[in-house]
Amino acid sequence: MEIAEQQAGEITIVEVKGRIDSNTAKAFGERLTSLINTGRGRLVVDLRQIIYISSAGFRALLVAGRLADETNGTLALCGLSAELQRLFDLGAFTDLFTIYGSRDESIAKLT
């Protein structure tokens, strides 16, 4: 898994590549919570290059989402492939996150 970050005004875009599984979810979750705890709590997580997410990856997103809510931040997701969308639907995670089709759409809605 690789993580890259970009700024779009007050929004931090976290682009993740590869797999978010039991081996990588801890580092992923720690990076998200670190960003939120250091005042960069308006996050868009771009998942368009994720090929797999495990329950540990979903947990990392849930913990970060809860922390963002508690600190008046925002955690939105974008770029879900059809397979990732299916996994989010199966786990009923689509109700727990704000999900946009693209990075551009998420930035436009959050600014």
| pLDDT tens profile 42-84 | 999 999 999 999 999 999 999 999 999 999 999 999 999 999 9
Distance separating alpha carbons of residues 102 and 111, to the nearest angstrom: 15
Residue 91 pLDDT class (50, 70, 90 cuts): confident
pTM: 0.95
The residue range of the domain holding 44 is 2-110
In this structure, what CATH number is given to the domain that contains residue 66?
3.30.750.24
Indicate the number of domains in the chain.
1
